[in-house]
Amino acid sequence: MPLYLNDDQNMLRDTARELMGAEGSIANQLRKYRDMECKDGFGHALWKQFGELGLTGILVDEADGGLGLGHVEAGIVLEEIGRNLTPSPFLVTAVAVVEALRGTKLRERWLPGILAGETVAALAIDEGAKHRPEIIEARAERSGNGFRLSGKKQFVVQGASADVILVAARSDEGITLFAVEKGAHGLDVEGVRLADSSIGARMTFDGVEVDSDAVVGEVGGGEAVLKRVLNAGRAGASSELVGLGSQAMAMTVDYLKQRKQFGKLIGEFQALQHRAAHLYSELEIARSAAIKAQQLLDEGAEDAELMVSVAKAKAGRTSALAVQEGVQMHGGIGMTDEYDIGLYMKRDRVLNELFGDANYHADKVARMKGY
């Protein structure tokens, strides 16, 4: 969608495309760290490169040493990450957590490391099998100058390697977000390899003591922070899904132009052409929806949240369609580990769940529309 992009955005896309296509490629990142059974599931050297190129500071204000750009720009990078299945802390750390830290005192503590591509941050929100941020049962009890946190969290992306974990808990004042440092006493972290070979974590907070400086924003003000964090994460995940789906489609269309059966290229069969054309239209709409949501977030528009849910639902369904069609049209080899197309299906499954799946967001759209 070059028409959406200005010259600076095009340059950013070129930079991201070059980095992810080379250093961030499936062979150099996903397969490498998967096959060596890396406990973090991503490469720290590449994260450092993100820092050197300034990508970690896209959403960080210039006054804080960042680029002061917006969600559209973050989406440009995420689309390239999606295309290459690059395992990266970018979405959670540089988009969602940076959004949480915006305007808080905690940014002095954490932003320099994030900007340098050294610090990894995680979000501990989900507690059940599905993303339901409306239901938070983890507790925060007043204790001395601070709080004691208790409860269980799961699906904490990069939770096993994170230097800091933003955890959502319920205090007497309401939902509050706390920044908990790695290795805090009473915090148990269990790394879990997910379907896409990334490492998530289950966390148990058993009376973890934090002082009041650890509060992100205001005590009881967590819902507003969470709303911004989730909008940012969901819009970003939408772009990553669009990139993932677009590359799955590109690989599939290439295959349709190579594989011969019945004496013809299989791409000459109209039954497959229709499916490919349908997928192409769906991806264009999903990409437009994601960019629209990011533009509304950058404008601070009231109705951004609606469009964010539209984008996540649309991108999720479309990406799922792309990987299903991709594996199906590749035939038997689509199910082999040797071919990359199956890796796209696995990443799609995880990314669809992250920040709420298509059903969750369609339901949210319905609620926002009053039914």
Partner 1 sequence: MADLDSFRADTRAWLEANCPAEMREPVRDESDACWGGRNAKFKSDAQKAWMDRMAARGWTVPDWPTEYGGGGLSPAETKTLRQEMARIGARNPLHSFGISMLGPALLKYGTEEQKKRFLPEIARGEIRWCQGYSEPNAGSDLASLQTKCEDKGDHWLVNGQKVWTSYADKADWIFCLVRTDFSAPKHKGISFILFDMASPGVSTKPILLISGNSPFCETFFDDVQVPKDQVVGEVDKGWDVAKYLLGHEREMISGMGLGGNSGSLGEAFADVVAQDPLLRADIARFDVDALACPAFDDEICRHRAQQAPPRAGHGRRRLERARMGQRPLEEGQGRPRMAAHQGQFDRGRDQRGPARNRRQAHSRTPRSLTHAALPQ
Among 92, 208, 313, 323, interactor with partner 1 by CB under 8 A: 313
Among 1, 224, 250, 301, interactor with partner 1 by CB under 8 A: 1
User: Site size for partner 1, by CB under 8 A?
Assistant: 31
Task: Judge whether 223 and 177 are in contact, CB under 8 Å.
Answer: no
Please compute Rg for the chain using Cα positions. Answer: 20
CA-CA distance, 323 to 74, in Å (whole number)?
23
The answer to whether residue 304 forms part of the interface with partner 1 (CB under 8 A) is no
The answer to whether residue 36 forms part of the interface with partner 1 (CB under 8 A) is no
Task: Judge whether 69 and 209 are in contact, CB under 8 Å.
Answer: no
Task: Judge whether 130 and 162 are in contact, CB under 8 Å.
Answer: no
Residue with tokens 């922070």: 225
Task: Judge whether 278 and 267 are in contact, CB under 8 Å.
Answer: no
The answer to whether residue 129 forms part of the interface with partner 1 (CB under 8 A) is no
With contacts defined by CB under 8 A, name the span among 7-15, 33-41, 244-252, 309-317 that binds partner 1.
309-317
With contacts defined by CB under 8 A, name the span among 151-159, 195-203, 344-352, 357-365 that binds partner 1.
357-365
* Crossing angle of the two packed helices 222-256 and 270-299, in degrees rounded to 10: 150
Task: Kindly list the distances between the CA atom of residue 100 and the CA atoms of 59, 163, 235, 312, 352, in Å, as whole numbers in the listed order.
Answer: 11, 16, 15, 20, 22
CA-CA distance, 30 to 9, in Å (whole number)?
26
Q: How far is the CB of 276 from partner 1 (least distance, A)?
A: 12
- Residues 6 or more apart from 139 whose CB is under 8 A from it? 149, 150, 151, 169, 170, 171
Question: In the window 241-300, what residues touch partner 1 (CB under 8 A)?
Answer: 277, 280-281, 284-286, 288-289, 291-292
Q: How far is the CB of 288 from partner 1 (least distance, A)?
A: 4
User: Within 13 Å and on the Cβ side, how many CA atoms surround 283?
Assistant: 26
Q: How far is the CB of 279 from partner 1 (least distance, A)?
A: 12
With contacts defined by CB under 8 A, name the span among 37-45, 107-115, 251-259, 304-312 that binds partner 1.
304-312
Q: How many CB atoms lie within 10 A of CB 179?
A: 21
The answer to whether residue 134 forms part of the interface with partner 1 (CB under 8 A) is no
Among 311, 322, 323, 343, interactor with partner 1 by CB under 8 A: 311
Among 228, 234, 314, 330, interactor with partner 1 by CB under 8 A: 314
Among 38, 276, 306, 350, interactor with partner 1 by CB under 8 A: 306
Q: How far is the CB of 227 from partner 1 (least distance, A)?
A: 19
The answer to whether residue 76 forms part of the interface with partner 1 (CB under 8 A) is no
The answer to whether residue 361 forms part of the interface with partner 1 (CB under 8 A) is yes
Token output for 73: 């720009």
Q: Which residues bind partner 1 (CB under 8 A)?
A: 1, 3-4, 277, 280-281, 284-286, 288-289, 291-292, 306-307, 309-311, 313-314, 317, 358-359, 361-363, 365-366, 369-371
